[in-house]
């Protein structure tokens, strides 16, 4: 069994896709990591299907230095709000600057476009983001899970088993020199 002994930040806000937060959260904690929810503000956030999660840190106070990896759940409303929050964008970008693993699923890739970290990277997402990612300089592919130098991406909740397995693998490997901003 994997023992990650790592600290993993999850960045989300209201409207996240419930399973895209809860499933990776359960996977990384079962593998020995501690999980921390970072959000732009508030005491708790609510998913589009009603799951409520306590916020541990705000994006303005969270530091990538304190974590070994980042997970960006999807959900249209969640991702759209995060990509407009400068603190959330800076927090996400810092993981790339520090060469740390990042997992992103569904619409979560929007924040990576705003953070300017997808150029020359290969990833997947919910299909409606394909043009956005290509316009930002990424190579978009329609695959269950894609790993590119510590960046793990998947399309939908159907891909969560493969996403979680690769996410744990990449966190276990640690920093990746090719994971850059």
pLDDT at 157 over 80: yes
Set 51, 81, 99, 107: catalytic member: 107
DSSP code string of 77-146:
HHHHHHTT-HHHHHHHHHHHHTT--EEEEGGGHHHHHHTT--TT-EE---GGGHHHHHHTTPEE---SEE
Handedness of CA 31, 55, 77, 117 (dihedral sign): negative
Q: Quick: pLDDT tens for 87-121.
A: 999 999 999 999 999 999 999 999 999 999 999 99
State how far the Cα of 116 lies from the Cα of 106, in Å rounded to an integer: 18
Q: For residue 64, how many other CB atoms are within 10 A of its CB?
A: 20
Decide if 51 is catalytic.
Answer: no
Q: Under DSSP, is residue 171 helix (H, G, I), strand (E, B) or coil?
A: helix
- Under 8 Å between Cβ of 112 and 180: no
Q: Quick: pLDDT tens for 115-145.
A: 999 999 999 999 999 999 999 999 999 999 9
Set 51, 81, 99, 106: catalytic member: 106
Query: Which pLDDT score is estimated for 58?
Result: 98
Residue 114 β-bridge partners:
none
pLDDT at 36 over 70: yes
Decide if 99 is catalytic.
Answer: no
Query: Which pLDDT score is estimated for 177?
Result: 86
State how far the Cα of 77 lies from the Cα of 95, in Å rounded to an integer: 23
pLDDT at 38 over 70: yes
**pTM higher than 0.75, yes or no?**
yes
Mean pLDDT score across all residues of the chain: 96
State how far the Cα of 23 lies from the Cα of 75, in Å rounded to an integer: 14
DSSP-derived letter for residue 152 is: E
State how far the Cα of 13 lies from the Cα of 137, in Å rounded to an integer: 26
CA-based R_g, the chain, Å: 14
* 161 CB-near residues (< 8 Å, 6+ apart): none
């Amino acid at each position: 069994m994997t023992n990650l002994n790592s600290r993993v930040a999850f960045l989300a806000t209201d409207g996240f896709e419930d399973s895209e937060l809860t499933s990776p959260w359960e996977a990384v904690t079962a593998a020995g990591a501690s999980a921390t929810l970072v959000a732009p503000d508030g005491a708790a956030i609510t998913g589009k299907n009603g799951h409520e999660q306590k916020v541990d840190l705000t994006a303005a106070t969270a530091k990538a230095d304190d974590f070994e990896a980042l997970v960006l759940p999807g959900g249209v409303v969640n991702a759209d709000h995060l990509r407009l929050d400068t603190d959330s964008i800076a927090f996400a970008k810092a993981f790339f600057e520090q060469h740390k693993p990042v997992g992103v699923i569904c619409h979560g890739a929007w924040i990576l476009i705003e953070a300017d970290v997808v150029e020359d990277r290969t990833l997947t997402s919910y299909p409606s983001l394909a043009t956005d990612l290509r316009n930002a300089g990424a190579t978009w592919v329609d695959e269950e899970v894609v790993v590119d130098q510590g960046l793990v991406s998947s399309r939908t909740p159907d891909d969560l088993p493969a996403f979680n397995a690769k996410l744990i693998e990449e966190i276990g490997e640690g920093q990746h020199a090719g994971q850059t901003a």
